Each structure stands twice: as structure tokens, then as C-alpha cells.
Amino acid sequence: MPLAYVGNQYDRDTAFSTYFAPAAAVHRHLVAGKWARTEAWPHVSFTGRVPFTEVEGIHGRALATVLLLPEQYAQVGQMTQRLFEAVLAGCLPLTPSSIRSAELFTPARLHVADGTAVTTMLTRLQDITGTAEHAELIADCLQALDVFRLSRQLDVLDRLLSTRTASQVTS
């Protein structure tokens, strides 16, 4: 399946209309999650909520997903667990370029500006499915997850706390 999204609607209507819905008009797709207001997208296949145990399977069958964030998350670069769920299942995360600091957690080659770009990207990704280039994209996505490693987060916290403690001692 070229495209899937697993997640709830919560404040994602604008991102969904901008990025996912146009591509869903062209490519086979699936949307799983709690979406109560779907009238604006009659062409989209909504399946409803699924148990967490099915999330990996959906992403595993999909070539790509779009990282849809509520606007307040996108403005500050707050990524959700959807990134990890997709990448760890081998599903490429198409990332809206409007998400702050998107280049820190996904390869620039997977950044998209709008639904037309998502549609075009999906066609291109279908052409390279199973090739070395496809494997390289997945590897790049896995490597980008390093920024979220606990060891890295602890190093940052340690550095921040050390700097704060040092400045308090000299004050």
C-alpha cells in the first residue's frame, strides 16, 4: 500500500487537508484512528480505531506515511511517537517542510511542501521500492532517530544542568 496514516484527528484537519488528502485522491491508502469529522474528505478510506498491536502491521504494509501534526506542535518542532512507529516498521515518513527543525529528525529527501509533493513523492517511491535507494532511505531515517536516543537526551540534560549549576556558583 503506498500510503497510510495511523493516528487520531485531534487538531490535524489543516495538515490532513494540505498533505494527506490530495495524495489519497491518487494513491491507495488507509487511515486508522479516531476521526469523528470526515465529511470534508469523502474519497479517503477511514477504518476507525485500531488496537496498538495492529499499528506496526499497518505501517509494515505501507510504503510511506505523512507526519501530521497539530499546528502548535509543528511550530515548535514537537514530534510524536508516529515517527518511531513508522520508521521502525520500514514505513518512510514524509515530513511537511513547515515543521520546525524537520531536518533534525527526517532526511531532507523526504520533506514535502504540500499534497502535490506528497503525491509526486509517492509515485517516485513506488518506482524505487525494494531497491538499494529505498533501503538507503530507510537507513537514513533510522539514523535520524539517534537525536531521540535516551543517552543523547541525558547528555543534553547533564550539560544544561552543569551549566546552570556553574552559573549559580559564580553568581
**CA 156 centroid distance within chain:** 24
Quick check: 68 and 52 in contact, CB under 8 A? Answer: no
- Quote the pLDDT of residue 162: 85
Q: How far is CA 132 from CA 42, 139, 145, in A?
A: 37, 10, 20
Written as tens digits, the pLDDT of the chain (171 aa) is 999 999 999 999 999 999 999 999 999 999 999 999 999 999 999 999 999 999 999 999 999 999 999 999 999 999 999 999 999 999 999 999 999 999 999 999 999 999 999 999 999 999 999 999 999 999 999 999 887 777 767 777 888 888 766 666 666
pLDDT number for residue 165: 67
Residue 7 near residue 33 (C-beta atoms within 8 A): yes
pTM for the full predicted model: 0.87
Chain centre to alpha carbon of residue 136: 18
Q: What is the pLDDT of residue 48?
A: 96
Question: What pLDDT does 32 receive?
Answer: 98
What confidence score (pLDDT) does residue 146 get?
A: 82
pLDDT at 148: 75
